[in-house]
C-alpha cells in the first residue's frame, strides 16, 4: 500500500481540526474571501471576524464599495490597523468594476494586476475562492515547509521564488485537492507548528518531520522580536486618524497637533497620512479623511 503523502496527511488533519472561520463556510463568494485575506494581513483572526462581518454587511459586493468615497472605507476600517489596506481595497473594488464588471477575476494574472493585490493574496483568492492549484505561501506555510521538509527551524523574513516552488511540489495534482492542501498547510502553521511553541504532539506529520528528526535545533541567529508600536509613527498616525474619523467637518492643524507631544513626529505622521492617500489637506490650516466632502479645488 502506498504511504500517504505529506499533503494527504495534513489535509486529513485539517478536515477534522480546522477552525470554524466564517470565510471558510460553503457558499462564501470570492469578494468576501478577498476581503478576509486583506484584513488578515498582520492582524489576528479574533480581531478580523467582527470587522469582516460588518464590512460585508455594508458592502456585500465590490461595486457597493467602489461607489463610496475613500473616507467611508477608512472609517469602517476603524482600529483594525494598517488602514492603508482600506484605501487599497476600495481601489481594488473600483478596478474590478472598471475591468471585470464588478466581479473578482478568476485568473491569476488578472488578480495580480489589481491594486494592492500581491503574490500571496492573488494565489490565496485563486485557490480558496476558485479551487485552483497554486502555492499559497505565507509566514505560516514557509515555517511548516522549512521545518518538516528542509529540517530548518525557521524560514527567512520574506517569501522567495524557492518557497513557492517547494510548496508547489507538495501539492496534489488535482486542483480541488491542491486548494484544500493549501488551506491545510496554512492552518497547521497557524495553530500547531507555531513559531515559538510548536505542538509537535498534535502534528499530523511528526513522524516524517525533518526538523523533529534532527532534534529540533534552534535558529542559529537572533530571533525576530515583535514590532514595537508604542511611541512609533504608527501610533501617532493611529491617533490622528482617530480624531479625523470622529470629525464631521475638517479638523484644524492646531487640533491635530494636540494628539502628540512631539510636534516634529506629529507633523511627520500627518504628512505620511496625506502621502498615503488616507488624509487630504483642505486648506492651509485644516485636514479631513480622503474624499470626506466635496472635491478640493486646486488654485
- In the chain, alpha helices (H): 6-17, 30-39, 45-58, 62-66, 70-77, 84-100, 108-112, 119-128, 139-145, 161-170, 175-191, 210-213, 233-246, 253-257, 263-275
**What's the grid cell of residue 106?**
478568476
Q: What is d(CA 14, CA 144) in angstroms, rounded to the nearest whole number?
A: 14
Length of the chain: 299
Q: Are 58 and 78 in contact (CB under 8 A)?
A: no
Residues classed as catalytic: 37
- Phi first, then psi, for residue 85 (nearest 5°) are -60, -35
In this structure, how many other beta carbons lie within 10 angstroms of the beta carbon of residue 52?
21
Amino acid at each position: 500500500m502506498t504511504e500517504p503523502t505529506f499533503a494527504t496527511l495534513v489535509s486529513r488533519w485539517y478536515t477534522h481540526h480546522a477552525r470554524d472561520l466564517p470565510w471558510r463556510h460553503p457558499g462564501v463568494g470570492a469578494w468576501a474571501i478577498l476581503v478576509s485575506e486583506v484584513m488578515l494581513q498582520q492582524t489576528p483572526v479574533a480581531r478580523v471576524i467582527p470587522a469582516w462581518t460588518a464590512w460585508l454587511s455594508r458592502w456585500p459586493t465590490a461595486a457597493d464599495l467602489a461607489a463610496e468615497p475613500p473616507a467611508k472605507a477608512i472609517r469602517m476600517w476603524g482600529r483594525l490597523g494598517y488602514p492603508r489596506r482600506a484605501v487599497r481595497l476600495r481601489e481594488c473594488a473600483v478596478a474590478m468594476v472598471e475591468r471585470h464588471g464588478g466581479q473578482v477575476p478568476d485568473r491569476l494574472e488578472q488578480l495580480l494586476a489589481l491594486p494592492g493585490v500581491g503574490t500571496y493574496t492573488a494565489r490565496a483568492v485563486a485557490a480558496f475562492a476558485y479551487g485552483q492549484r497554486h502555492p499559497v505561501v505565507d509566514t505560516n506555510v514557509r515555517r511548516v515547509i522549512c521545518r518538516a521538509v528542509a529540517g530548518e527551524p525557521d524560514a527567512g523574513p520574506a517569501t522567495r521564488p524557492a518557497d513557492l516552488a517547494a510548496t508547489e511540489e507538495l501539492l496534489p495534482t488535482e486542483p480541488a485537492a491542491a486548494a484544500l492542501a493549501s488551506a491545510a498547510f496554512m492552518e497547521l502553521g497557524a495553530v500547531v507548528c507555531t513559531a515559538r511553541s510548536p505542538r509537535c504532539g498534535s502534528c499530523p506529520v511528526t513522524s516524517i518531520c525533518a526538523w523533529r528528526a534532527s532534534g529540533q535545533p534552534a535558529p542559529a541567529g537572533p530571533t525576530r522580536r515583535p514590532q514595537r508600536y508604542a511611541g512609533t509613527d504608527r501610533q501617532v498616525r493611529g491617533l490622528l486618524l482617530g480624531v479625523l474619523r470622529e470629525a464631521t467637518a475638517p479638523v484644524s492643524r492646531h487640533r491635530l497637533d494636540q494628539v502628540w507631544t512631539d510636534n516634529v513626529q506629529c507633523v511627520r505622521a500627518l504628512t505620511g497620512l496625506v502621502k498615503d492617500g488616507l488624509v487630504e489637506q483642505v486648506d492651509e490650516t485644516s485636514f479631513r479623511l480622503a474624499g470626506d466632502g466635496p472635491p478640493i479645488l486646486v488654485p
